[in-house]
Amino acid sequence: MNARVRLFAVARQIAGRDRIEIDLSEGATVADLRRALAERVPELAGILGQVTFAVGTTYADDTTPLSPNADVACIPPVSGG
């Protein structure tokens, strides 16, 4: 199963790209995706605990299942003033 992950803000800066494709097992969840991203791009591991994921147009928690060819957004926390 393939997930297409769009990276935003600091996640994009750290990874040096705006999207990444991750191959996952059937029945994978957002938690599985989080682990796979940390393995594929170790530089992201430090922020992955704080990012929010959206699957399609809906925010998702770690238990959310991913469908084949899922479109996922990786959204880091925003700060500013």
Q: For residue 81, is it within any domain?
A: no
Residue 3 CA: distances (Å) to CA of 7, 41, 51 = 12, 15, 17
CA–CA separation, 6 vs 58, rounded Å? 14
> What CATH number is attached to the domain comprising 41?
3.10.20.30
Domain extent for 59: 2-75
Residue 80 lies in a domain: no
Predicted model pTM: 0.92
Residue 40, domain member (yes or no): yes
pLDDT of residue 65: 97
Domain for residue 71, yes or no?
yes
* 59 lies in some domain: yes
Model pLDDT for residues 38-61, shown as the tens digit of each residue: 999 999 999 999 999 999 999 999
pLDDT band, very low/low/confident/very high, at 33 (cuts 50, 70, 90): very high
| Region of residue 21 (left: phi > 0; alpha: psi -120 to 50; beta: else) | beta
**Overall domain count for the chain:** 1
48-75: average pLDDT: 96
